[in-house]
Amino acid sequence: MKLENLNLRLEPKGEIPIYVQLKNQLRYKIHHGELAPGEQLPTLRELASHLSIDGNTVSRVYRELEDEGLIERQQGRGTFVSHKERPAPDEARRKDAEAAVDGVVRLLLGMNLTPAEVAGILRDYAERLHKE
């Protein structure tokens, strides 16, 4: 896959950590078939350079996606989208949603809010959006 065709957009000054943004975007592209099974991903160095981020960040993302079974690293060959069976669309959608809120929840917990307070904030916010 050519780097330009990945269309990854990171918000360095956003509240969601860079590694979460990158992991979510790659996970989305894999779940929705934009990255096909067997397709080769850019090297750590290439992707880090292209996105102007630290190579350790890309390494962490690749490691976590590998742990999820979405990609496979092959020594001396590169990193590829896994051929393993994908979760059902509803399950994939839920995983994508959970990944999207991960950074926000971590930020709120880091502000010494309890899990119940975080849940209440998210519920209230979602209800306000629904009414709009």
Q: What is the pLDDT of residues 82-109, one digit of tens each?
A: 998 766 667 767 777 787 788 889 889 9
Name the pTM for this structure: 0.68
Q: Where are the domains of the chain?
A: 3-81, 89-131
Across the range 14-20, mean pLDDT stands at 87
What helix, strand, coil percent values describe the chain, rounded to 5? 60, 10, 35
Predicted pLDDT at 60: 95
For residue 119, name the pLDDT band (cuts at 50, 70, 90): very high
Q: Are 35 and 71 in contact (CB under 8 A)?
A: no
Residue 14: per-residue pLDDT: 82
d(CA 123, CA 125): 5
CATH architecture of 3-81: Orthogonal Bundle (1.10)
Q: What is the mean pLDDT of residues 12-24?
A: 89
Q: What are the strands, taking DSSP E only, across 35-128?
A: 40-41, 71-74, 78-81
- Which of these, 34, 26, 5, lies nearest to 96 by C-alpha position? 26
Per-residue model confidence (pLDDT) at position 97:
79
Check residue 46 and give its pLDDT.
95
Q: Which two tokens stand for residue 5?
A: 């065709």
73 pLDDT more than 80: yes
Check residue 75 and give its pLDDT: 92
Instruction: Classify each residue of 42-58 as buried b or exposed e, where b means 16 or more C-beta atoms within 10 Å of its C-beta.
Output: bebeebbeebebeeebb
